Amino acid sequence: MTFLRRSSLTAVASVILLAPALAAQEPTTPSPRDVILVTGRVVTLDGQAPLSYAQVGIAELKAGGQTREDGRYSFTVPASAANGQVVTLTARAIGFKAKSVQVVLSPGLPPQDFVLESNPLQLGEVVITGAGTTSEAQKIGNVRSHVDSSAIQASNEPNVVQTLSAKAPNVTVTSSAGDPGASSSILIRGANTLGRPSDPLIVVDGTPIDNSTTTVAFLDPQTGGPQGGVSSPNRAVDINPADIESVEILKGAAAGAIYGARAGQGVVLITTKKGRPGTTRFSLTSSVSFDNVTKFPALQRQFGQGDDGVSDPCATDPTPDCYATPDTWGPQLEAGVKTYDHTNELYQTGHFWDNVLNISGGNEKTSFFLSGGYFTQDGTVLGPHDYLHRATVRLKAEHAVADNLRIGGNVMYAQTEQDAVQKGFNYASIPWTSWLTPPEFNNNPYLDPATGVHRSYRFPDPSVGSIPDSTRGYDNPYFSAYTSQSTTLNDRVLGNMTIQWTALSWLNFSEALGVDYANDQRVQGEAQGNSQTFLPGGQVLTLNLTHTQFDNNLIATGTYTVNPNWGGSVSVGQNINSRSFQQLGEVGDVLLASTPYSLNNTATQRPPTSYQSYVHDIGYFAQATFDLWDALFLKAGLRYDGFSTFSPSHQYYAFPSASAAWQFSKTFNLEDSWLSFGKARLAYGEVGTEPGPYVSSKVFQANGQIPDAYGGLFLTASQGGVGGLFTPVTEPAEGLGPERTKELEGGIDLGFLKDRISFSATFYNRNSSDVILPIPVAASTGYQLQVANAAEIRNRGGEFTLTVRPIVSKDLAWDVTLLGGYNNNDVLSLRGADFVPYGGNGGFLISYAQLGGSVGSFRDFDYVRCGRGVVLTDGSGNPYNVDQHCTSSQISQKALFISDGTLTNASGVGANPGFPLLDPTQYVVGSPDPKWTGSFSTSLRYKRWNFSLLLDHRSGGLVWNGTHETLNFFGTSAESAKRGTTVTFGQNFMSGAVAGPGAGDAVVLDQNWFQNYYGGISPHSIGFPFYEDGTFTKLREIAVGYVLDERWVTHNLGLSSIEVRLAGRNLYTWSNYSGADPEVNSPGAETGARGIDFFTNPQTRSVVITFTFNR
């Protein structure tokens, strides 16, 4: 029996602290004559409810017991050990403050009852702090962000990463799209890396797991990256959130330093549920959701297909197999012409069904937790190719082999299958093809009634013979939704074995050996007659991805006591980690028959492509704690890491950390005052980020492609059966070490009025140097990039948490929590460059790390404006200095410079009178990072009813509305209906100051304006007008629940309770953003770029009904 119950990891500390208690656990059968019976009942203060699983014991006699479900406990003490002395009897329970009484130990001891107060600050409770170390909550010298299972369950999100949204300040979670299984990313305290993934390390029960996101699209020459293709999952989606007991987010470097060179972006520690001694408990949870899209972009329905106000002959009077214009710049539609709403015609109400069965139980020596879950989601896009299915099984068991030796096993299997529809910039993309369809074109039916072959608005009259060799220009979106397949079928085994051995009363060993193996089989099928590939005959792409990770963590912890005022612990450990990745891709061209999407069913197959990588790490770590006067807690740690990815000449780096926590409320005896708890803390730590593998290797590119300067076209270097090799674009790195993040963090944690109110504030200064990035080198050197430790980034910010529990009583409880955080991100150095493309943002070259700006800054083209020193050419060919023709206020307002028709810019391009001129230079637009983020949550319990609400707010941060910009270009956006209207810049169009010789002139907006001078889709289009403030407030969660435990439930049904819950997810968004949803990131979690809205399937909202049957 242990005294405290936690995960296998926390049990280490439990055993250390209570080692004496364990030593006395000889199984004897005492007779009433030689024992003293200690009994009583433990209840809670607020509800006077019995408290089960509370531990009651006498530490000095190493004796104790546990309460049953009625709150009663009993244990015995050998009479020989009792001589009427005074002993301390202590009752503890998770979530409650421990309470001790002094009793005179003698036969006939009266029942000892305890009333425990809740412990919202978790004082005295053991918290896992990573790599097998633990600490009591009040001793931690850095800010703690803790999320428990109820908060995870309440989110109704299938992806564990998304469940963390709005749960901790400065932990920004972004869902990339509304598709089932679309990746979510976490950014902790701002971006501090450039070339490496910005997501934190995720550790489940002591073993790191893979959370990578891989898009299939790279195999596809057309879509070529995250801007096209489909929304792929991040691999943490394989974990069933219902299995999670709690999550600790190690935000700062001081907290993460125990993980050294893998903790640069923070660490998320997930602890899964475990069994408890006692009756075997069963719990079946069933949920069903109703999901729909929150908002769509606005489209016009007045103008038809064509150009310059003229209908396209192919569209109006189609001849077989002619191509019609993609544009909707035709004439005004005549009255009576039927139009169609293409915003939402491809969308339906989606559903998920989630069923989880938990069985847990055990006895004093052995406990188990067994769960099985099946989650199935049918997304909001029509057709059979928009789903996520996940089947999970977990068994976690622990057994005490001897009093001082516990072993545990925890194994999870998951099969996750996702099928996703095409998005972004590709010609099968559902949003692209539906929102670009002219209003008068009926996309239904998608097969031509006469010929039975695929028809689309750009290819309205297909012949039977057109299938093998004619692309449709763009797919009909229904065709894409019903035929285009992109599946990922992932089988994953994840688990570990743990050993806790208390070798001596003061010395404990803890070992965790874990494995994470995943095999992901992807199949992308493009049907015959598709437009996405340049093979209208169809294509099948397969990709097999295998991730394997072994991790072994061994730690020895010794406790010491120098005197009553000075104790502590020393831990020494070693970690070994090995990761490998294999990928094999094959492409078959031209389907023989229309189905199946199998390589077997293709006419020709291309040579397969493969990739593999292997990374080994070894780390040694040591940590010492000093607990002084039970009020001042000091900790010092050192991690020494060797990575195979570091330069071979210097493979080991040290990462120190130190922290101090001073519980001044104890020093000044304030516990009974209005300030019931006060702690000041200060922490410093260093963490790192390792480079990717093989960047120092000098190799020749095998099976490379020689790209055309325009997207998607290339020749392979191997031709005519001769294998081509060439020098790759990336120069081998030299002397590469880890990125190093040094962070100083200070803060204060306060509890007022017996912890009814708690407040926490934290400030940090986080400096990342030697940031690894592929730094551009002059292409004339023969290379274009070199991976180097080249940048310096600073993040400074603050975080605040305020929790108020105004009412805590048996029938009524109410609490309110406010979270807030701000972060300022500054790029301090880029090794001489002014900006570098950020994070491989897949085709949207608008995100940059900007010197003097931030990571992820947008750069784009703008009109000529005052105050930028622009020099134009006037009609006579003479230089025309813009700022000399602006007033000082126009200069300070960066007034738009309006042409009189004679001026031309540096590229020799002019503008019609009354219109602004284009400036061919890129400027910084701003940052996608919010100024601050916050959330408001509250929960209210009245008898058996409970109610909760979570509001999530993000203030500031730009979003590029590329969808709007592109729809303007093609003439389907609502704004494009302004064509033909007369406007004046600065007055009734594009608000803001204007200057220049043409200022105030009325002009007519036409197709040419919308396509070439206002946005556009070429790499140098004017993008500035399409960056919008992404401020939003979301009603993330709202729920009402009722617990039935009446007699008919407990007796007639044989259950202990039934919980019924009605919840809403993302029900409402308050935002001025003109697009679908400012919470979006088209490239997904893979790239690190943020704030990009480009033809993704919009976010959804849900109503979820949940029944839980407990026994």
Partner 1 sequence: MPGAFARCALVAAAVAVTGACSSFLNGDNLQNDPNNPTSAGLDNLFISAETNVTVQLTGQYARTICIWMQQCTGLVPPFNTISIYSVGEDDYYVVWAALYGGAGLIDLRSVQTRALASGDSIYAGQAAVLEAMLITLGADIWGDIPYTQAANAKYPDPAPDSQKFVYDSLNTKLANAIVLLGTTPSGNNVGASSVDLVYAGDPALWTALAYTLRARIFLHLAKKLGPAAYDSAYANAQNGIQPGGDYTSINSSAPTSANLWSQFTSIYAGNMAAGAYMVSYMADSSASPDPRLPQYFTPNSSNQFEGGAPGQTNGDFSGFASARVDPAFLQPLVTASENLLIQAEAALMKTSPNSGAAAQALNAEQDLAGVPHTAATLHNVMLEKYIALFQNVEVFNDWKRTNLPNLTPAAGGVIPRRLVYPLSERNANTSITGPGPARNWNDPP
Residues 6+ apart with CB under 8 A from 619: 260, 261, 574, 575, 576, 577, 639, 640, 641, 642
Closer residue to partner 1 in complex, CB, 943/1020: 1020
For the chain, the straight-line distance linking the first and the last C-alpha, in angstroms and rounded, comes to 24
Report which of 160, 166, 91 is spatially closest to residue 124, judged by C-alpha positions.
91
Closest distance between partner 1 and the C-beta of residue 482, in Å? 23
Closest distance between partner 1 and the C-beta of residue 572, in Å? 7
Binding mask 83-122 for partner 1 (x = CB under 8 A): ----------------------------------------
Task: Please identify which residue in 372, 656, 840, 920 interacts with partner 1, judged by CB under 8 A.
Answer: 920
Closer residue to partner 1 in complex, CB, 337/654: 654
Closer residue to partner 1 in complex, CB, 375/915: 915
Evaluate the CA torsion angle 331, 335, 340, 342 in order and state its sign: positive
Task: Please identify which residue in 778, 869, 876, 1054 interacts with partner 1, judged by CB under 8 A.
Answer: 778
Asked if 712 touches partner 1 (CB under 8 A), the answer is yes
d(C-alpha 197, C-alpha 186), whole Å? 10
Closer residue to partner 1 in complex, CB, 344/784: 784
Binding mask 679-708 for partner 1 (x = CB under 8 A): --------------xx-xxxxxxx-xxxxx
Site for partner 1 in 457-486 (CB under 8 A): 458, 470-471, 473
Asked if 723 touches partner 1 (CB under 8 A), the answer is yes
d(C-alpha 421, C-alpha 525), whole Å? 11
Closer residue to partner 1 in complex, CB, 239/556: 556
Task: Please identify which residue in 674, 726, 942, 945 interacts with partner 1, judged by CB under 8 A.
Answer: 726
- Pull the structure tokens for residue 1092: 């990009």
Task: Please identify which residue in 674, 714, 942, 1042 interacts with partner 1, judged by CB under 8 A.
Answer: 714
Omega cis (within 30) before 596: yes
Closest distance between partner 1 and the C-beta of residue 139, in Å? 26
d(C-alpha 848, C-alpha 857), whole Å? 5
Closest distance between partner 1 and the C-beta of residue 622, in Å? 10
Contact predicate 252/764, CB 8 Å: yes
Tell me whether strands 896-897 and 994-995 are parallel, antiparallel or unpaired. Answer: parallel
Closer residue to partner 1 in complex, CB, 573/1088: 573
d(C-alpha 69, C-alpha 277), whole Å? 11
Contact predicate 380/386, CB 8 Å: yes
Site for partner 1 in 614-643 (CB under 8 A): 614-618, 620, 640, 642-643
d(C-alpha 1111, C-alpha 1108), whole Å? 10
Closest distance between partner 1 and the C-beta of residue 370, in Å? 28
Write phi, then psi, for 16 (nearest 5 degrees): -60, -50
State the CB neighbour count (10 A cutoff) for residue 192.
30
Contact predicate 297/963, CB 8 Å: yes
The window from 121-129, 195-203, 781-789, 1082-1090 that contacts partner 1 (CB under 8 A) reads 781-789
Q: ∠1016-1020-1024 over CA atoms, to 5°?
A: 70
Closest distance between partner 1 and the C-beta of residue 450, in Å? 20
Closest distance between partner 1 and the C-beta of residue 481, in Å? 22
Contact predicate 644/616, CB 8 Å: yes
The DSSP-derived string for 79-94 is GGG-SS-EEEEEEEET
Sole residue written with tokens 């901790």:
168
Asked if 606 touches partner 1 (CB under 8 A), the answer is yes
Closer residue to partner 1 in complex, CB, 360/577: 577
| CB-based burial label for 207 (10 Å; 0-12, 13-18, 19+) | buried
Closer residue to partner 1 in complex, CB, 932/1024: 1024
Write phi, then psi, for 791 (nearest 5 degrees): -125, 165
Contact predicate 772/786, CB 8 Å: no
Binding mask 371-410 for partner 1 (x = CB under 8 A): ----------------------------------------
The window from 62-70, 485-493, 499-507, 715-723 that contacts partner 1 (CB under 8 A) reads 715-723
Asked if 517 touches partner 1 (CB under 8 A), the answer is no
Site for partner 1 in 523-582 (CB under 8 A): 534-535, 548, 550, 552, 554, 572, 574, 576, 578, 580
Site for partner 1 in 794-833 (CB under 8 A): 832-833
Closest distance between partner 1 and the C-beta of residue 1102, in Å? 38
Distances (CA, A) of 814 to 152, 186, 751, 945: 19, 30, 17, 12
Binding mask 1013-1052 for partner 1 (x = CB under 8 A): ---xxxxx--------------------------------
Binding mask 332-371 for partner 1 (x = CB under 8 A): ----------------------------------------
Site for partner 1 in 641-680 (CB under 8 A): 642-644, 648, 651-652
Closest distance between partner 1 and the C-beta of residue 790, in Å? 12
Asked if 769 touches partner 1 (CB under 8 A), the answer is no
Closer residue to partner 1 in complex, CB, 322/807: 322
Q: CA dihedral defined by 333, 339, 340, 342, rounded to 10 degrees?
A: 10
Contact predicate 565/630, CB 8 Å: yes
d(C-alpha 64, C-alpha 25), whole Å? 9
- Pull the structure tokens for residue 79: 């009479």
Task: Please identify which residue in 124, 724, 956, 1025 interacts with partner 1, judged by CB under 8 A.
Answer: 724
- Total number of residues that touch partner 1 (CB under 8 A): 112
Asked if 761 touches partner 1 (CB under 8 A), the answer is no
Asked if 417 touches partner 1 (CB under 8 A), the answer is no
Binding mask 938-977 for partner 1 (x = CB under 8 A): -------------------------------x--------
Site for partner 1 in 419-458 (CB under 8 A): 458
Site for partner 1 in 871-910 (CB under 8 A): 906-910
Q: ∠297-299-303 over CA atoms, to 5°?
A: 165
Closest distance between partner 1 and the C-beta of residue 427, in Å? 8
d(C-alpha 327, C-alpha 970), whole Å? 5
Site for partner 1 in 989-1018 (CB under 8 A): 1011-1012, 1016-1018
Binding mask 255-294 for partner 1 (x = CB under 8 A): ----------------------------------------
Write phi, then psi, for 964 (nearest 5 degrees): -60, -45
The DSSP-derived string for 1005-1022 is --HHIIIIISB-SSTTSB
HSE at residue 538, side-chain half, CA atoms within 13 A, is 27
Closest distance between partner 1 and the C-beta of residue 906, in Å? 8
Closest distance between partner 1 and the C-beta of residue 517, in Å? 11
Binding mask 163-192 for partner 1 (x = CB under 8 A): ------------------------------
Task: Please identify which residue in 478, 835, 1027, 1095 interacts with partner 1, judged by CB under 8 A.
Answer: 835
3-state helix vs strand vs coil in the chain, percent to 5? 10, 50, 40
d(C-alpha 470, C-alpha 267), whole Å? 51
